[in-house]
Amino acid sequence: MTSTTEPGAGTARLSSRRMWAILGLVLLADAIDVIDGTITNIAAPTIARELNGGESLIKWVGPAYMLAMGVLLLIGGRLGDKFGQRKLFLIGMGGFTLASAVIGFSPDPGLLIAARVAQGAFGALLIPQGMAIMTKAFDREMLAKAFGLFGPVLGISSVGGPVLAGFIINADLFGLSWRPIFLANIFLGIIGMIIAVRILPRDDDADRSTVVDGWGSGLLSVAMFGLLYGLIEGSTNGWHALSVIAVVVGLLFFGAFAYRQRTAEHPLIKPSLLKNRGFTSGMVVGLVAFAASTGLFFVLSLFIQEGLHASPRDASLGLVPLTVGLIGASFAAMGGLVTKLGRKLVFIGLGVSIVGCGWVLALVKFSGTDLSLWALAPAFVVIGVGTGLCFTTIPTVALGDAKPDEAGSASGSLGSIQQLASAIGSAAVTSVFFMAATSGFAHAMEVTLIVVLAATALSLPFVVLMPRKAPSEPSE
């Protein structure tokens, strides 16, 4: 959750050089977050094999991080308002760095998953502070430049991270296999903290009276854990009573969370936002799009490695066309398309994604696991273009009808939805893939693509309810 103060009003005017330095630091923190959320797309099979974690570890290593991040992201923003963004940024960066070190040296699956949860939790303290700091310290012109860079940089990180992971694993640096992927965060985190201490403005004006809705956060935590635990354990060990009960409990607690947001005196999400049809429709579309895309990326990397028997490095190279499409579409969208087309661009993005998924489905159906990465490359470009348009456009357009005093809660809610959707997508789509894999990896890929296509198609009617246009200027 970000601050809603007038841009530049919270601190003395900063020099242009210092504003660019702060922007670089915030982008570094956000890029590390996105990379660590996606590198397991490539690294999970290797990690599970070396730690003897099996399918369960493959399914949990990504969602454990995203779940903690998504559940705590809103409360992280409130804590920044209460105790100061600079202080929470440093705590978040320090904790994230320490958790990364524990992951890198983990000897068993249990400690690794626990450290991934801690990493996501500290990330949830870190990420909201950057946007709030910029909103207070930047003038409108600089804030507009910052918003223009976020989409492309995070898009590059989301797909470039797994590509880098594949090369690191294949290089087997110092005989450490996958571990340098996380150990590199120690160096980046320490550098980031040193820079943060020097350049982040002090915020002695923090409002200690800010109320954090602990009950709402607790209800959401139990809801998401129940849903993810049920999905993962049910698909791994069979749908026994415990798995079914976990899903039911998750749904009940999510209903309780929704009720809490309508009745609490200080809810995590402003009640007026829940009555805003355009915003809630954007949340639904974002939930489906982010879940489907994140889950699909994970499954594509699994299919390439397990079904096509490619090495982590070759799997990374196979995802490069997707990366190229995503980067190009992100830059095009933020370059003016989202302002001109508004929700039409969301339609286009979802439509292009459907075409790309259908293309891959046809290839797998006719060629099975005899496919080459070259044959998949054009379809991957199309999927990347569709995803790039959606990732950049949906959050922006969803804020089109938000009032100025709702902007902070709205952007924080969308950030949480993106993280929770990533966790749900990784768990649910991967579960579909492994359940269908008993009949072969080609069949598993076909079933997964059909599920993703159906979910994406079902989200299209909600796009009509989104705001027609994006905000004319950054809403933060």
Indicate if the alpha-carbon torsion angle 257, 263, 267, 273 is positive or negative.
positive
DSSP per residue, 302-336: HIIIIIS---HHHHHHHTHHHHHHHHHHHHHIIII
Q: What is the pLDDT of residue 366?
A: 92
Total-model pTM: 0.76
- 392 contacts: CB under 8 Å, gap ≥ 6: 151, 152, 155, 329, 330, 333, 334, 338
Return d(Cα 348, Cα 70) in angstroms, integer. 27
- Domain's final residue, options 163, 191, 210: 210
Consecutive H or E run containing 21? helix 16-38
Q: Can you give the pLDDT at residue 269?
A: 72
- Return all residues near 106 (Cβ < 8 A) that are at least 6 apart: 51, 112, 115
Q: Answer yes or no: do 452 and 395 share one domain.
A: yes
Q: How many CA atoms lie within 13 A of 387 on its CB side?
A: 30
Residues 180 and 290 grouped into a single domain: no
Q: Is the same domain home to 200 and 278?
A: no
Q: Are residues 196 and 306 in the same domain?
A: no
The confidence score (pLDDT) of residue 71 equals 75
> Are 347 and 276 found together in one domain?
yes
- Buried residues in 370-385 as b, exposed as e (16+ CB within 10 A): ebebeebbebbbbbbb
**Whether residue 92 is found in the same domain as residue 191:** yes
CA distance 249 to 246: 5
Note whether 191 and 305 are same-domain residues: no
Residue with the two structure tokens 């989409």: 151
The predicted structure's pLDDT at residue 229:
80
pLDDT value at position 445?
Answer: 95
Tell which of 174, 195, 210 closes a domain. Answer: 210
Whether residues 186 and 248 fall in one domain: no
* Same-domain pairing of 280 and 254: no
Residues 281 and 293 in one domain: yes
pLDDT attached to residue 2: 40
**Residues 102-129 pLDDT 10s:** 999 999 999 999 999 999 999 989 988 8
Give CA–CA dist 98/370, Å, rounded: 43
Query: What CATH number has the domain bearing residue 334?
Result: 1.20.1250.20
Q: Is 289 exposed, middle or buried (0-12, 13-18, 19+ CB in 10 A)?
A: buried
pLDDT score for 13: 61
**Of 249, 265, 281, at which residue does a domain stop?**
265
Verify that 315 and 246 share a domain, yes or no: no
For the chain, which residues score pLDDT lower than 70? 1-13, 140, 143-144, 147-148, 150-152, 154-155, 159, 204-212, 235-236, 402-413, 415-416, 419, 423, 471-476
Cα–Cα distance, 113 to 135 (Å, whole number): 34
219 and 305 co-located in one domain: no
| 26: number of Cβ within 10 Å | 25
- Domain ranges, residue 243: 213-265
pLDDT of residue 204: 65
Domains in the chain, number: 3
